[in-house]
């Protein structure tokens, strides 16, 4: 065990189940330990480093902005924040942007905005949220309250009042849940931490229809699915419907803490001066990097490439076990892929780790692949070969 791991174990809070691995450097799809061992990173820091580690164009922007301006507070405008907001508006349905620092903070902002708008337009009785079972929206009290996985609530209750949970893709439950008391429905178009479960077009169409009928806002949590991960800049584009509010974070600044809540002007206007704020939100360095991220990722050819790579990887994964003896299902869109096994996937995870490949396990029988979007086909070869070997191990 290396000295960094030992030090970490001594001094860091024990809230993470960490590998006994410490990385000191990254480049592209690779991470390097303190002893110089090289790992193939199919986690990308949990769908964060979409352009890989130490991307030269991002490093350059980071250094340039580091010499110009770090922070002013939101009492003033800054160049990177204004330009990034414009870029996000140009690329999406949105007209206004609020910046924060993490996924959960963007969710908090969205929940507060939805309540505040409903309060202004209809009064305090329109305060309920509809959320989905098996969802994940973050760990702060508000975000946790709309997270549909009771294991995360244990010991932290009481949570926020007025949240109704329904099973994903259940049209009947959806209709039953709606009423005039609902101010918003929140969902991930593809559930990420839940194990890569996509919502159906039919379900999302009905969600949109009911939101309009009951004058509730539709909040898309695209914290994991956004920034090119699924082969579109944002996953809502796959479904042909627009949310009222969209939360993005993770890959937005490729690893610097940044999140954004996007909305139309008529929605965002409910956040009047003093209603909500963040000291670091829209930090100039993070915004400058994010602007460059968006320039690269929003290129049509880049996104098409991601979609193609995702399609190839998924097909090759299915081909590994066409009779579905070991692999139950391969799901996902673009380079957000879940492999569900009939049995616990821990032995496979461990074999991959021994072969110096990093993946994540959102559920005990699901392996999630979120490689940097710049991953290449040779790396797929190596990954698939290694996975095939780890499957024979458990046959
Ligand atoms: C990661 C994630 C969050 C929480 O983001 P944090 O930055 O950890 O607060 C919320 N929603 C989804 C869908 C996520 O994947």
pLDDT value for 393: 66
Total domain count, the chain: 1
Q: Is the pLDDT of residue 195 over 70?
A: yes
324 alpha carbon to ligand 1 midpoint, in Å?
A: 31
- Whether 188 lines ligand 1, by a CB cut-off of 6 Å, is yes
Please identify, by atom number, the ligand 1 atom nearest to the C-alpha of residue 138: 4
Tokens of 254: 């490729």
Does 129 participate in catalysis according to the annotation?
no
Q: What is the number of the ligand 1 atom nearest to the C-alpha of 139?
A: 9
Residue 87 CB neighbours (<10 A): 18
Q: Is 249 near ligand 1, meaning CB less than 6 Å away? A: yes
Residue 302 within any structural domain of the chain: no
* 22 in any annotated domain: no
Mean pLDDT of the chain: 97
pLDDT in tens, 359-384: 999 999 999 999 999 999 999 999 99
CATH of the domain at 248: 3.40.640.10
Minimum CA distance residue for ligand 1 atom 10: 137
Q: What is the pLDDT of residue 314?
A: 98
CB 104 near ligand 1, within 6 Å: yes
Domain-located, residue 243: yes
> Which pTM value belongs to this model?
0.98
Instruction: Check whether 348 is labelled as a binding-site residue.
Output: no
What is d(CA 315, CA 309) in angstroms, rounded to the nearest whole number? 10
Q: Is 136 annotated as a binding residue?
A: yes
- Is 272 within a domain? yes
CB-side neighbour CA atoms (13 Å) of 197: 17
Active site residue 93: no
Q: Return the ligand 1 atom nearest residue 143 CA.
A: 10
pLDDT at 228: 98
Ligand 1 neighbour 147 (Cβ under 6 A) = no
Is the pLDDT at 395 greater than 70? The verdict is no
pLDDT, one tens digit per residue, over 115-135 is 999 999 999 999 999 999 999
Whether 101 is covered by a domain: the verdict is yes
* Nearest residue to 51 (alpha-carbon basis) of 354, 255, 236: 255
User: Would you state the pLDDT for residue 108?
Assistant: 98
- Domain hosting 216: range is 58-297
pLDDT higher than 80, residue 394: no
Q: Which of 221, 244, 314, 341 is catalytic?
A: 221
Q: Note whether residue 345 is domain-resident.
A: no
Neighbours of 106 (CB within 10 A): 33
Ligand 1 atom 11 nearest Cα? 137
Q: What is the mean pLDDT of residues 17-41?
A: 96
pLDDT for residue 146 is more than 80: yes
List, for residues 262-294, the tens digit of each pLDDT value: 999 999 999 999 999 999 999 999 999 999 999
Known binding residue 221? Answer is yes
Residue 87 lies inside a defined structural domain of this protein: yes
Q: What is the pLDDT of residues 302-315, one digit of tens each?
A: 999 999 999 999 99
Residue 68: inside a domain = yes
% of the chain surpassing 70 pLDDT? 99
Q: How far is it, in rounded angstroms, from Cα 23 to Cα 34?
A: 6
Look up 221 and say whether it is catalytic.
yes
* Mean pLDDT score, 40-61: 98
Query: Given this model, what pLDDT does residue 126 score?
Result: 98
- Model confidence over 238-252: pLDDT tens digits? 999 999 999 999 999
Binding site membership of 138 for ligand 1 (Cβ less than 6 Å): yes
Ligand 1 touching residue 225 (CB < 6 A): no
Residue nearest atom 6 of ligand 1, based on CA coordinates:
103
Which own/partner pairs from 323-328 qualify as long-range (CB within 8 Å, at least 24 positions apart)?
325/395, 326/391, 326/394, 326/395, 327/391, 328/365
Closest-lying ligand 1 atom to the alpha carbon of residue 221: 13
Is position 140 annotated in a ligand binding site? no
Give residue 34's pLDDT. 87
The residue whose CA is least distant from atom 5 of ligand 1 is: 103
Is 381 a known ligand-binding residue?
A: no
Quickly state the pLDDT bin for 2 (edges 50, 70, 90): confident
């Amino acid at each position: 065990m290396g000295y960094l791991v030992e030090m970490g174990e001594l001094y860091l809070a024990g809230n993470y189940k960490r590998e006994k691995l410490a990385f000191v450097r990254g480049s592209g799809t690779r991470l390097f330990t303190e002893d110089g061992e090289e790992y193939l990173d199919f986690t990308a820091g949990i769908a964060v480093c979409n352009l890989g580690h130490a991307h030269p164009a991002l490093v350059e922007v980071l250094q340039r902005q580091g010499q110009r301006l770090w922070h002013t507070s939101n009492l003033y405008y800054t160049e990177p924040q204004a330009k990034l907001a414009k870029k996000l508006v140009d690329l999406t349905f949105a007209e206004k942007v609020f910046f924060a620092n993490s996924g959960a903070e963007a969710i908090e902002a969205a929940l507060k905005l939805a309540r505040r708008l409903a309060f202004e337009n209809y009064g305090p009785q329109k305060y309920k949220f509809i959320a989905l079972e098996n969802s994940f929206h973050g760990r702060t009290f508000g975000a946790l309250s709309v997270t549909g996985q009771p294991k995360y609530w244990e010991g932290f209750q009481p949570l926020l009042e007025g949240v109704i949970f329904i099973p994903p893709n259940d049209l009947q439950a959806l209709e039953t849940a709606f009423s005039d008391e609902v101010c918003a429905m929140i969902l991930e178009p593809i559930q990420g931490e839940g194990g890569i479960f996509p919502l159906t077009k039919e379900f999302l169409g009905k969600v949109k229809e009911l939101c309009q009928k009951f004058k509730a806002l539709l909040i898309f949590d695209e914290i994991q699915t956004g920034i090119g991960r699924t082969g579109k800049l944002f996953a809502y584009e796959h479904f042909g419907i627009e949310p009222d509010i969209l939360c993005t974070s993770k890959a937005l600044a490729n690893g610097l803490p940044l999140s954004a809540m996007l909305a139309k002007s008529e929605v965002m206007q409910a956040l009047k001066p003093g209603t909500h704020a963040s000291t670091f939100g829209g930090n100039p360095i993070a915004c400058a990097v994010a602007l460059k991220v968006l320039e690269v990722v929003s290129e049509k050819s880049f996104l098409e490439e991601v979609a193609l790579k995702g399609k190839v990887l998924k097909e090759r994964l299915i081909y590994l076990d066409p009779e579905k003896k070991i692999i139950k299902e391969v799901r996902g869109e673009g380079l957000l892929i879940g492999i569900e096994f009939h049995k616990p996937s821990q032995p496979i995870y461990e074999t991959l780790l021994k072969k110096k490949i990093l993946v994540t396990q959102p559920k005990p029988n699901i392996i999630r692949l979120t490689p940097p979007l710049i991953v290449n086909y040779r790396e797929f070869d190596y990954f698939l070969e290694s996975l095939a070997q780890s499957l024979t191990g458990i046959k």
